[in-house]
């Protein structure tokens, strides 16, 4: 199967065509776009009339009404509003794990979301955090390195988006918080930002999300964990290596330790959910055992990201 079809199977496209990205806030872009708002402006769809006042644009006077009533009225239109969709996909070392692989799963979800945004004329930008070999020639990759697709709009950009996601090499180290800070500082417009990650960052989720939580974005935090992480079956004396910084830890796995692990993981996930929810964002947890099209077509619709 070609890599692009592995990310976004052709049979899924028709179902994605019927969806659109939804923002819960009124997001005013700096350029005129394809999304209508209730604000009055100058677009192609008529909304109302108001009395002409000196200084108004004469091109918007309704001369037919003037001919009948001998009064000047100005046509008003629905102003169009631009929606920006930012998709942040974590492909760091901790994501390059599991069956199904978390990084591949996240790229599939990212491809589906970006596709929906593109076919509905939203401005879309995809960012990859922690991609191995993400630095350009002669550059030194740092922990906050970000690979970027660049702004895209329209169905014609779908191949470019799929090519970007398809070429990512998961497995680098990542400072998710530092990377998101770079992304938000460079973003020109408000919009919807979706972060696809396991959020297993030693700096904690606060360091990762504080730049976008409760601010100018509609935040959707999608936490992805593999079945092996949710319900591990490890036993005995083990040496565990951190997938990103290479640090080692020796543990003796026992039923009591596994129980403590599950309790700590559950508390961490609930803490992340509470953090995001209190700041006006939406949180979704999923195992990669859930088919990714189910996550997109069902779970994200129920969370209000797609409609």
> Band of the pLDDT at 247, cuts 50, 70, 90?
confident
User: Is residue 233 pLDDT above 90, yes or no?
Assistant: no
Question: In the structure encoding, which two tokens stand for residue 14, read together?
Answer: 């028709």
Please check whether residues 20 and 59 belong to one and the same domain.
no
* Mean pLDDT of the chain, nearest integer: 82
Q: Structural domain tally of the chain?
A: 2
What's the number of CA atoms in the CB half-sphere (13 Å) around residue 140?
Answer: 1
Please check whether residues 151 and 179 belong to one and the same domain.
yes
pLDDT tens for each residue of 7-44: 999 999 999 999 988 876 544 343 344 444 444 444 44
pLDDT (0 to 100) of residue 204: 80
Strand partners, 285: 223
Give the span between the Cα atoms of 31 and 173, in whole angstroms. Answer: 36
Residue of 150, 102, 122 lying closest to 286 (CA atoms): 102
Please check whether residues 41 and 111 belong to one and the same domain.
no
| pLDDT mean over 56-61 | 74
- Global confidence as pTM: 0.79
> Band of the pLDDT at 241, cuts 50, 70, 90?
low
Residue 166 lies in a domain: yes
Please check whether residues 96 and 232 belong to one and the same domain.
yes
Domain containing residue 165: 3-28+83-302
Give the span between the Cα atoms of 192 and 85, in whole angstroms. Answer: 5
DSSP code for 30: S
Whichever domain contains 9, its CATH number is 3.40.50.410
Strands 146-148 and 236-241: unpaired
Residue 105 lies in a domain: yes
| pLDDT mean over 243-263 | 79
Please check whether residues 75 and 203 belong to one and the same domain.
no
Please check whether residues 134 and 165 belong to one and the same domain.
yes
Please check whether residues 47 and 161 belong to one and the same domain.
no
Give the span between the Cα atoms of 60 and 185, in whole angstroms. Answer: 39
- The mean-pLDDT minimum among 97-101, 140-144, 218-222 falls in 140-144
pLDDT > 90: what percent of the chain? 47
Residue 48 parent element (H or E): strand 35-51
User: Is residue 155 pLDDT above 50, yes or no?
Assistant: yes
Residue with tokens 């919009």: 191
| pLDDT mean over 35-61 | 60
pLDDT (0 to 100) of residue 214: 66
The per-residue b/e assignment along 160-169, b for 16 or more CB within 10 angstroms, e otherwise, is: ebbebbbebe
CB 143 within 8 A of CB 174: yes
Please check whether residues 199 and 293 belong to one and the same domain.
yes
Residue 171 lies in a domain: yes
User: What is the rounded radius of gyration, in angstroms, for the C-alpha atoms of the chain?
Assistant: 23
Sign of CA dihedral 92, 94, 95, 96: positive
Please check whether residues 99 and 77 belong to one and the same domain.
no
Residue 19: helix, strand or coil by DSSP? Answer: coil
Please check whether residues 125 and 255 belong to one and the same domain.
yes
Residue 307 lies in a domain: no
| pLDDT mean over 170-194 | 84
User: Is residue 296 pLDDT above 90, yes or no?
Assistant: yes
């Amino acid at each position: 199967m070609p890599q692009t079809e592995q990310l976004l199977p052709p049979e899924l496209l028709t179902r994605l065509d019927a969806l659109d990205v939804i923002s819960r806030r009124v997001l005013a872009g700096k350029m005129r776009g394809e999304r209508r708002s209730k604000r009055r402006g100058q677009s192609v769809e008529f909304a109302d009339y108001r009395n002409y006042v000196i200084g108004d644009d004469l091109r918007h006077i309704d001369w037919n009404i003037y001919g009948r009533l001998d009064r000047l009225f100005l046509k008003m239109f629905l102003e169009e509003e631009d929606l920006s969709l930012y998709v942040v996909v974590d492909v760091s070392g901790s994501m390059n794990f599991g069956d199904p692989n978390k990084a591949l799963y996240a790229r599939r979800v990212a491809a589906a979301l970006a596709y929906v945004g593109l076919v509905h004329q939203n401005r879309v930008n995809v960012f990859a955090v922690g991609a191995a070999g993400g630095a350009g020639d002669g550059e030194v990759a740092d922990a906050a390195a970000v690979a970027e697709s660049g702004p895209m709009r329209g169905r014609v950009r779908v191949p470019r988006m799929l090519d970007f996601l398809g070429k990512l090499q998961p497995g680098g180290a990542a400072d998710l918080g530092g990377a998101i800070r770079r992304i938000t500082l460079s973003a020109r417009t408000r919009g919807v930002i979706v972060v696809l990650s396991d959020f297993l960052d030693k700096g904690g989720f606060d360091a990762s999300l504080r730049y976008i939580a409760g601010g100018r974005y509609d935040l959707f935090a999608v936490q992805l964990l593999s079945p092996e992480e949710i319900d591990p079956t490890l036993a005995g004396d083990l040496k565990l290596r951190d997938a990103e910084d290479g640090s080692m830890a020796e543990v003796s796995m026992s039923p009591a330790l596994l129980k403590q692990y599950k309790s700590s993981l559950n508390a961490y996930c609930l803490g992340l959910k509470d953090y995001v929810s209190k700041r006006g964002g939406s949180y979704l947890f999923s195992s990669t055992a859930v088919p990714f099209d189910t996550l997109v077509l069902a779970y994200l619709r129920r969370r209000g990201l797609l409609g």
